[in-house]
Amino acid sequence: MPDIRYLLPASEPKFKDSGITKAGELLKAWNGSPATGIGLIGAPLSKTSISHSGAAMAPEAIRKMLHSFTTYSVEKDKDLKSMAITDFGDITPHVTDLKETQNRFVKVIQEVLERNPDIIPVILGGDHSISASSIRAFKKVKGPVGIIQFDAHHDLRNLEDGGPSNGTPFRQLIEGNDIKGEHLIQIGIRDFSNGRMYTNYAKENGIKIYSMNDVNRLGARRILEESVRTLKSKVSSIYVSVDMDVLDQAFAPGCPAIGPGGMNSEDLIQGVQYLSTCPDVKGMDIVEVDPTLDFRDMTSRLAAYLILQFLLNRP
């Protein structure tokens, strides 16, 4: 670029405050050597969604929204500016072969985890189908895994009606013997969003359900403390799966399956912040954000904020 004062590449921010670092600046492309800390992996797949979804565009939108935050937490008086978030990029889906795409997701995430044993992966969906691949890879590398799933839905649908979709990831994991039912805890399950057959399937398989009434009665923090305590006595690591439709529609307009009566964003934020203090929590995904449905990037921005909260208490 020719050296003319005030003439900058279009991609550069138009204003730089010398006292502020933007959270987007923490993203550092993986250089191939073993990384530590939080590592982002994009899993841009939403052709597997039952409802119309553009969630494949979420990894890009969420990364962009990191630039709307600074690195400073006023609550903790802590600046994250010297930390890095390793960006592993996005996994390339096959255009038409969804099973091939899901296999690729397993293989790539497995290889990233094997070559970076100390990273805490944050996988950005994509619709919720990606969690079946991601948790399968996670278990291959880390051993028995317990799951804390934030979701309005069980995602335990039968596989005969539509094959592996965003409604089936936890059914696939149970039927594939990747996890036991007792290693899955579902938080935020809500009315008129599920079928009795699937709630019964959850109960018969020992899955612990905290409905929205439980969240309102006990508080997310107490539920998470109980969940971490239960899981850590049974498994070697905990994976958190955040389906953003666990939130009330007022907080997550960019999810395909929005509805009323869900969690508020503050409870989810505090919950993720608490989970970031738990050494047994070794991975997370954020799914079901569709930037094409979103309003003023509210849902992508909240997803980016959750990543920062997840980073906040890491050494």
Ligand X SMILES: N=CN[C@@H](CCC(=O)O)C(=O)O
In the complex with Mn ion, which residue's Cβ is closer, 70 or 299?
299
Name the CA dihedral angle for 251, 253, 256, 257, rounded to a multiple of 10 degrees: 40
Choose the binding region for ligand X from 11-19, 21-29, 61-69, 150-158 (rule: CB under 6 A).
150-158
Residue 300 makes contact with ligand X by CB under 6 A: no
String of DSSP letters for 37-98: EEEEEEE---TT-SS---GGGHHHHHHHHHTTSBSEETTTTEE-TT--EEEEEEPPPPSS-H
Nearest C-alpha neighbor of 263 from the set 214, 309, 311, 297? 214
One character per residue 141-170, x = contact with Mn ion (rule: CB under 5 A): ----------xxx-x---------------
Q: How far is the CB of 148 from Mn ion (least distance, A)?
A: 13
Compute the distance between CA of residue 275 and CA of residue 78 in angstroms, rounded to an integer: 18
Q: How far is the CB of 134 from Mn ion (least distance, A)?
A: 13
For residue 11, with 0-12 CB atoms within 10 Å meaning exposed, 13-18 middle and 19 or more buried, which class applies?
exposed
- Report the site for ligand X in 266-295 (rule: CB under 6 A): 288
Compute the distance between CA of residue 127 and CA of residue 117 in angstroms, rounded to an integer: 26
Size of the site for Mn ion (CB under 5 A): 7
- Report the site for ligand X in 24-63 (rule: CB under 6 A): 49-51
Whether residue 26 contacts residue 267, with contact meaning beta carbons closer than 8 Å, is answered with: no
Instruction: Please identify which residue in 63, 104, 128, 282 interacts with ligand X, judged by CB under 6 A.
Output: 128
Instruction: Please identify which residue in 87, 243, 248, 297 interacts with Mn ion, judged by CB under 5 A.
Output: 243
Whether residue 226 contacts residue 217, with contact meaning beta carbons closer than 8 Å, is answered with: no
Instruction: Please identify which residue in 104, 136, 153, 190 interacts with ligand X, judged by CB under 6 A.
Output: 153
Size of the site for ligand X (CB under 6 A): 13
**Which residue number places its CB atom closest to ligand X?**
167
Dihedral sign of CA atoms 87, 149, 291, 75 in order: negative
- Report the site for ligand X in 160-189 (rule: CB under 6 A): 166-167
Which residue ranges make up the site for Mn ion (CB under 5 A)? 128, 151-153, 155, 243, 245
Which residue ranges make up the site for ligand X (CB under 6 A)? 49-51, 128, 153, 155, 157, 166-167, 243, 256-257, 288
